[in-house]
């Protein structure tokens, strides 16, 4: 929780992030920029890293995991082209920052996290911020949402060797999926569109994420 004195400094840092790290690097979607302004990153960062809340890099959140770099969060969100009346599936809730951005831009978000402690913490933060249009699940996201369901939009926020088959199956026809795909050290950020049952890739840029560990992801 951030006190009143810190709030002004964070507001300044947030505006600097918007101008220097997002707009100057091609984040132009006004809805995405508005969401990045509205969701306070400092709420998701642990005490030790609070002063770096708006640094343009990932930060540790404990248990060997990270909160993603703001530019990458904005870029993946922009590439996903969310629809206000749509639903999105996110793999890798982590601290819940990306979840909160998604929840601002579509009707309902379904998010899966492997580590119960991180999911609980994310639920507490989003609850405190009054974000209620999110369904949480703790488990192996590589196996997909546990109920039979299809999504217009899917975002994978951990590295995968390829798009897990159950996830590809849960993407609706003409739906979009954004994921870091490659090895456990470096990946390509790719947007896929589902056309006639097949995923058509478009390369976005190189990136580096922690691994998605699971049956259709990496081994631990």
Instruction: List residues near ligand SAM by CB under 6 A.
Output: 65-68, 91-92, 94-95, 97-98, 112-115, 118, 140-142, 157-158, 209-210, 212-214, 217
- What residue spans of 171-213 are helical by DSSP H? none
Residue placing its CB nearer to ligand SAM in the complex, 13 or 213: 213
Q: Give the integer Cα–Cα distance in Å for 122 and 113.
A: 10
Residue placing its CB nearer to ligand SAM in the complex, 77 or 192: 77
β-partners of residue 136 are 111
Q: Residues 6 or more apart from 53 whose CB is under 8 A from it?
A: 10, 13, 41, 42, 45, 59
Set 51, 68, 119, 202: catalytic member: 68
CB 92 within 8 A of CB 141: yes
User: What is the DSSP secondary-structure string of 138-168?
Assistant: ES-GGG--SSS--EEEEEE-SBBSS--HHHH
Return the residue matching tokens 């091609």: 26
Which residue number places its CB atom closest to ligand SAM?
Answer: 92
Q: Considering the complex, what minimum distance in angstroms separates the CB of residue 196 from ligand SAM? A: 28
Q: Considering the complex, what minimum distance in angstroms separates the CB of residue 61 from ligand SAM? A: 7
State the pairing for strand pair 187-195/171-182: antiparallel
User: What is the DSSP secondary-structure string of 19-31?
Assistant: IIIIGGGT---HH
Q: Considering the complex, what minimum distance in angstroms separates the CB of residue 62 from ligand SAM? A: 10
Residue placing its CB nearer to ligand SAM in the complex, 78 or 142: 142
CB 50 within 8 A of CB 42: yes
Residue placing its CB nearer to ligand SAM in the complex, 68 or 78: 68
Q: Give the integer Cα–Cα distance in Å for 152 and 194.
A: 10
Q: Considering the complex, what minimum distance in angstroms separates the CB of residue 163 from ligand SAM? A: 13
Q: Considering the complex, what minimum distance in angstroms separates the CB of residue 121 from ligand SAM? A: 10
Task: Identify whether 68 is a catalytic site residue.
Answer: yes
Residues annotated as catalytic (active site), given as ranges: 68
């Amino acid at each position: 929780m951030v006190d009143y004195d810190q709030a002004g400094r964070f507001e300044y840092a947030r505006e600097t992030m918007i101008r220097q790290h997002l707009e100057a690097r091609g984040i132009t979607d006004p809805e995405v920029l508005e969401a990045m302004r509205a969701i306070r990153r400092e709420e998701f960062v642990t005490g030790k890293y609070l002063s770096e809340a708006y640094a343009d890099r990932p930060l540790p959140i404990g248990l060997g995991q990270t909160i993603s770099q703001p530019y990458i969060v904005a870029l993946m969100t922009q590439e996903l082209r969310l629809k206000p009346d749509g639903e999105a599936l996110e793999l890798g809730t982590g601290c819940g920052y990306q979840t909160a951005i998604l929840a601002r831009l579509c009707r309902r978000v379904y998010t899966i996290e492997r580590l119960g402690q991180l999911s609980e913490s994310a639920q507490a933060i989003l609850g405190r911020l009054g974000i209620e249009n999110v369904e949480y699940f703790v488990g192996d996201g590589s196996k997909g949402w546990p109920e039979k369901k299809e999504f217009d939009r899917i975002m994978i926020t951990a590295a995968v060797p390829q798009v897990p088959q159950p996830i590809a199956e849960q993407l609706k026809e003409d739906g979009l999926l954004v994921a870091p795909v490659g090895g456990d050290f470096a990946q390509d950020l790719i947007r896929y569109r589902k056309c006639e049952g097949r995923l058509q890739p478009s390369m976005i840029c190189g990136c580096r994420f922690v691994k998605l560990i699971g049956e259709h992801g990496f081994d631990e």
